[in-house]
Structure 1
Amino acid sequence: MKKIISTRMAFFAIALLLFWLKTYSIYKIEFELGVSGAMQEFLLFFNPLSSGLIFIGLALFSQGKKAGRRIIIIDAILGFILYANVVFYRFNMDFITIATLMQTENFGSLGSSIISLMAPYDIFYALDIIVLIFLYHKMKSNWSNERIKLRQPFAVLLTGVMVFSINLYLAEEDRPQLLERTFDRNYLVKYLGAYNFIIYDAIQSFESSTQRVLADSDDITEVQNYTKTKYAEPNPELFGVGEGKNIIKIHLESFQSFLIDYKLHGEEVTPFLNSLVHDESKDFTYFDNFFHQTAQGKTADAELIMDTSLYGLSQGSAFSTKASNTYQALPAILDQRQGYTSAVFHGDGKSFWNRDKVYKSLGINEFYYDSFYDMSKENVINYGLKDKPFFKESMPYLKNMEQPFYAHMMTLTHHHPYLIDEDEATIEPAETGDPSVDRYFQTARYLDESLEQFFNDLKEAGLYEDSIIMIYGDHYGISQNHNRAMKEIIGEEITPLKNAELQRVPFMIRIPGVDGQGINHEYSGQIDVMPTLLHILGIDAQDYIVFGTDMFSDDHKEYVPFRDGDFITEEYSYVNGIFYNNETKEEITEPTEEMKKLKETVHHELELSDKVLNGDLLRFYTPNEHWEPVDTSDYFYPEKSEFLSKDNEEDEEKQDDEVIGADEEKSAKE
């Protein structure tokens, strides 16, 4: 008996058992997979087995003691992959895909965020490796140098394949078309497991990469027909009222709408933004049922969606994988139709999210990145330039832009893990015991103060009155991993429906010469911004491939799709495969035909958008006689030293004087 226990097959069996138990434990502890019912719970427990049999079983083909070492190595690699998903999931509520791994250029800026997502108890996730190393040194003396008879490892692999087949059959029984409708990766991991998902994702990534090669001009027809039928006629009172006006689009990083009017310790967290929402003069229109629709691309997805009215990819970021695609984006359209100059202002490296490449495809004329700012230690925290110096130092460049312009101002400070210098925090943190949630309110206050400063500078520079100003939140800041703390903050349980409702982000717009509507309750999302702005400028969105509809139109479609196939309307929502009544918060056990039809419409819409991006279908589409495809060679984003050439030395001195003057004024006030 002792001899049997000490064999390589016994060592493999122990490794398999430890791997199985660890994987299932991590599923239960770390991931919110929405398991319901005995079958789903069984499959969650069952699905690691096939991966362990196949991957760890490969080590049994090795000779002698190598088999034991390779069992440990393979187990360690699998453990590292799972732990990487744990850390990724803690903030993103999603799993790593091949597409996200291709975004390696972003990793250098993520150090503090990654460290903040690690927990002291994570060391226990390596316990199985420690046990295996100990057992290996105890047992290896009993092993011969001969290879195990091949029928044994082959039997292990065959068993793994059979187990996976049973797993897949049961999963398809419980969730029909599981592999056809793959918008939600939680489903795939819940039913098939994290490791089988990786294999499936690799296959999907290969298939999507071949779509461009196989695409032709006929493929855009279905998309065009769909967007034409969804089109919403513009509001005649607003069509063209903003033509020729400057456009200033302000990006509120990680800002969720629950912050509006929220009081912490008796203080308003965002008093300036609140004043815009409740201004009696109704300068702005604030959409309080506006939702972000981003996925793994987060901020980059928000940029793409709002400038193209295409959804981000279900996996990875189009900015990283589809930078060379043909786009018909707002910057290029406004340039060709009304002579707009476009620019993005961002206090981070120009290659982050592949921006220096994709901005050319979008037709963005100028890009002001970290090279143009004072990135000294006192001005930088977390991801890049602090918001207050960012806005101050952007003003000289903004004032010198050729008008009319389309300027995109991207803030950074209010980003996970929400770090702020003690002397710049003007509100005490929350007291939930969750550091990310507690600090979230301090950086939100800082962002609010920087925004007020920017508005004052715009007015002083004479840019405020003649500019359309859009303010928007890009994506959530607090993920479901912080539900305990968020329950304390908002005073109610964070159910799946409540989490969907918390995906509201601000969107407000000011149009010169037009009275705002105050608070507008229309249900809308980032996909709707492009057609809305086009109509305000007097450009008919019907000519273009857009999946959103004008938010001011009487025909606006009031349903908001999320990237995972869920959606929300005024009356009901579809979340994690369940319909809910928005008023009662109860599950709708018998959805109407209208609800089922809308679910199919949402899924069809997402599939069509994916076809456009994966097949690069806009290269086959000419919107109208005004359109010329963007030539990326026409765009160049130099360093500041190159941008301010010798011929522009006078302009450089003028800009530097303005920045210095602003700093001196700030110092005098302090």
Structure 2
Amino acid sequence: MERKKSVYKSTPAVIGVLLALKLLLLRIFFFGEIYWSGLPGELLSVFGLLCLAELLTPVRAKVGVYWSLNALLSFLLFSSALYFAHFGTVPTYAVLSGLNQVPQVRASVSALLRPEQFLFFADFVLLGGLKIVQLLRRRSPRSLDSFPTEARQSRKWSTNTVAVVLLLVSAAASFFYVQQGKSIDNELVRAEKIGFLNYQAVAAILSREEDLVIAEGNIEETRARIAELQSSYPYLTASEGTGAGRDPHYFGVAEGMNLIVIQMESFQNFPIHLTLNNGAEVTPVLNELAGEGVYFPHVYQQIGQGNTSDAEFMFNTSIYPTAAVAMSTGYGNRELPSLPRMLQKRGYTAQTFHVNKVTFWDRNKLYPALNFNQYFDKPAFENDHFNDYGASDEEMYRVGVEQMKDLQARNKPFYAQFVTTSSHSPFVVPDKFKQIALPPELENTNLGNYINAIHYTDYAIGQLIDQLKEAGLWENTMLVLYGDHFGVQPSETSAEEIRSALGIPYDDTISRFNIPFIIHVPGKQLGIVAERTGGQVDLMPTVANMLGLSLKRENFTALGQDLLNIDRNVSGVRYYLPTGSFFNDEILFVPGQGFEDGEAVSIRTLEPVVDFARYRTDYEYVLSLMKLSDEYVKLLPKR
């Protein structure tokens, strides 16, 4: 009996120590060190949870509740460490609710697993071992019912008193940390300063406060404020060719043409025009398209939690992701102003193709919200077993061309969106699909696998073009290609390895987030390399202009800009990088706790920029613009 009482009394302390150690371990995964200044907030939040468990749980269930709480938090901390390894962002409770998508990308997740991440469960392994030893010795613990009632009651009052006092102290301290955290935009700094659990409280409070403000908002007023804010930024300093009554440059060069948009999975910009040391050209098809059309070498990803689906959302809407939830999940119930809607007014049929199940990332909600006429998902394709998703890019294009031929036969112009998957991590290309010979030093490396996958994506696009020409579709079809997000993880392939193996400049942030954007218009030898910096919200306004769609005349609220008709640009980012980060024509800026303690790197030289004070207006502008973007999308009518 005395041994059992001792075990019970020690359980809260043991669990408290274990959870504290696990939160310290999480800080190492997040920040590379513990950062002792934020430790009190971390530990006090644990005390608060344990005190609640002590006060609300019946005596018989306490030991089980404590260990269950430990198990739940261990899983959440493990998931958060794994999430951070991929996204470089501290997850919120809303983000972790998307764990149901993990089985769909199990191969990608498996590639991120490291032995040290499983330390969150080390205590359970040890406990299991002790239980096995106990069973082997055939010792059965005695029941808690053997506690004398008076002893239990006396201990209960004294323990409850201590728990109440500690709970009040923890709550007061957490309130202080939460208030402090609300004023910090940088999510990583916020988590460091106030602790992981308090960080979740701040996320919930800020979301609630924003929802209350927006609930009283008016969408037309928000649109007017967006227009007013955008007019305050000097996007255009030259008036030649774009004055009153004049159409923008390249307006309508593809008017009336069909539109094919290819969103390329995990496709970074550095493979474009890259030749390996054995003379192999990595992207010969895209290189030719870039040379004939318009190539934008300084476009950067802006995706949020939804990754690929967020890129689809942005291309079709020119609205920033909120970063709190995948846009397909959070806003798939809205009537989204979109490119398909504008083209449908002109008689176009809008179709989208993706070889996975349409329920992946709730695309079954996103596509109706964007107003695509039809989508083609897994059942529409013959599975040639390319990767975990199933069919290859070639099979996707085969089905797509059949659909486009049918529309052509009925004299229907079309907008076809293709979302590729063959270059998805972990970049394993089956032997029968491999199209490039790698140098020996790249064989069986993550970088070599990536180049293999990228080259196959390029090859499949070439096959699509051949089919379009054979079907008589090529000469009347504008082709747009862009990357959805980065592919190479720094944890798997270092910047130094890329620089050494490929002989190119490479930065773990700037080069990683740099994606290609290419527009090809048949019969137009444009041959333009557009140096303007842009983001994914800028893609649709640029494409719309070339199609002869005036967003102004359409009364369309776009958060991005036409990259061919501005002299200056700034693109905000708040996922994979903290809120307040931005790319402009000169630098990447990443804030610290605020602007003053931030860091800047030149996007041209990849060298640090010490004097970045003149960019404060860009920082303040993107914060305001993204806030208004969130307000706008939340006010859109539900369908």
TM-score range, shorter chain: 0.7 to 0.9
Cα distance in 1, alignment partners of residues 163 and 4 from structure 2: 17
* Contact 2:214–2:631 (Cα < 8 Å) also in 1: no
Query: Is the counterpart of residue 191 in structure 1 residue 203 in structure 2?
Result: no
| 1:301 Cα offset (Å) | 1.2
Partner residue, 2:228: 225
1:99–1:321 contact (8 Å) kept in structure 2: no
Q: What amino acid does structure 1 have at the position aligned with 2:317?
A: T
Instruction: Kindly state the Cα deviation for residue 251 of structure 1 after the two structures are TM-superposed.
Output: 1.2
Q: Does 1:361 align with 2:355?
A: no
Q: CA deviation at 1:445?
A: 1.8
How far, CA to CA, are the matches of 2:128 and 2:169 in structure 1?
Answer: 26
Match of 2:217 among 200, 215, 218: 215
Alignment deviations for residues 135-174 of structure 1 (CA, whole Å, 9 cap, x no partner): 99999879846253211111232232244356457xx4xx
1:314 aligns with 2:323: yes
The aligned counterpart of 1:517 is 527
Superposed CA offset, 1:25-57 (max 9, x none): 2321x33x487xxxx922344442022111233
Counterpart residue identity of residue 327, structure 1? L
- SS in structure 1 of the partner of residue 494 of structure 2: helix
Per the alignment, do residues 400 and 180 of structure 1 end up closer, same or farther by CA in structure 2, a change over 3 Å counting?
farther
Q: How does 1:281-430 map to 2 (within 5 A)?
A: 282-336=291-345, 338-375=346-383, 378-401=384-407, 402-426=411-435, 427-428=437-438
- The two structures have a TM-score, normalised by structure 2, of 0.84
Amino acid at match of 2:356: D
* Partner of residue 77, structure 1: 72
Deviations 1:211-261 (A, max 9, x none): 664333434331232345557658644112211011111111010112223
Quote the residue 2:570 is aligned against: 559
Gaps of 5+ in 1: 173-177, 620-630, 633-670
Q: CA deviation at 1:561?
A: 1.6
Greater Cα offset, 141-150 or 12-21: 141-150
What does the per-residue CA deviation read over 1:424-462, in whole Å, with 9 as the maximum and x for residues that have no partner?
Answer: 234449868996545222211221211111111111112
2:35 maps to which residue?
41
1:132 to partner: Cα distance: 6.1
Supply the distance in 2 between the matched residues of 1:139 and 1:266 (Cα, whole angstroms): 69
2:82 and 2:107 map into 1 onto residues whose CA distance is 12
Residues in 2 aligned to 1:456 and 1:393: alpha-carbon distance in whole angstroms? 14
Deviates more, 1:430-439 or 1:265-274: 430-439
C-alpha distance in 1, partners of 2:143/2:40? 32
**Conserved? CA contact 1:296–1:317, under 8 Å:** yes
Cross-structure match for 1:27: 27
The 8 Å contact of residues 271 and 283 in structure 2, kept in 1 or not, is answered as no
Change beyond 3 A, Cα 1:601–1:257: same
C-alpha spacing 1:496/1:451, structure 2 compared with 1 (3 Å) = closer
Q: Is it true that 1:602 corresponds to 2:619 in the alignment?
A: no
AA matched with 2:25: S
1:57 aligns to what?
A: 51
Tell me how far 1:533 sits from its aligned partner.
1.8
C-alpha contact (below 8 Å) 1:310/1:609 kept by paired residues: yes
Measure the CA separation in 2 of the matches of 1:411 and 1:610: 28
2:537 is matched with 527
Secondary structure at 1:522 match in 2: coil
CA distance in 1, matches of 2:98, 2:366: 13
Contact 1:103–1:320 (Cα < 8 Å) also in 2: no
- Using the TM superposition, name which of 411-420 and 6-15 deviates more: 6-15
1:258 pairs with 2:270: yes
User: How far apart, CA to CA, are the structure 1 residues paired with 2:406 and 2:439?
Assistant: 39
Does structure 1 retain, via aligned residues, the 8 Å contact 2:178–2:201? no
- Choose the corresponding residue for 2:81, options 83, 86, 96: 86
> After the TM superposition, which residues 479-494 of structure 1 pair with which residues of structure 2 at under 5 Å, given as runs?
479-482=489-492, 485-491=494-500
In the other structure, the counterpart of 1:658 is none
Q: Which amino acid aligns with 1:544?
A: F
The amino acid of 2:488's aligned partner reads: I
Aligned residue-pair number: 595
Decide whether aligned partners of structure 1 residues 16 and 413 sit closer, same or farther in structure 2, where only a CA change above 3 A counts.
Answer: same
Equivalent pair of 1:486/1:494 in contact (CA under 8 Å): no
Which residue of 271, 281, 284 corresponds with 1:272? 284
How much does 1:506 deviate?
Answer: 0.6
Long gaps (5+) in structure 2 = 237-241, 593-597
TM superposition score normalised by structure 1: 0.80
| Alignment RMSD (CA, Å) | 3.5
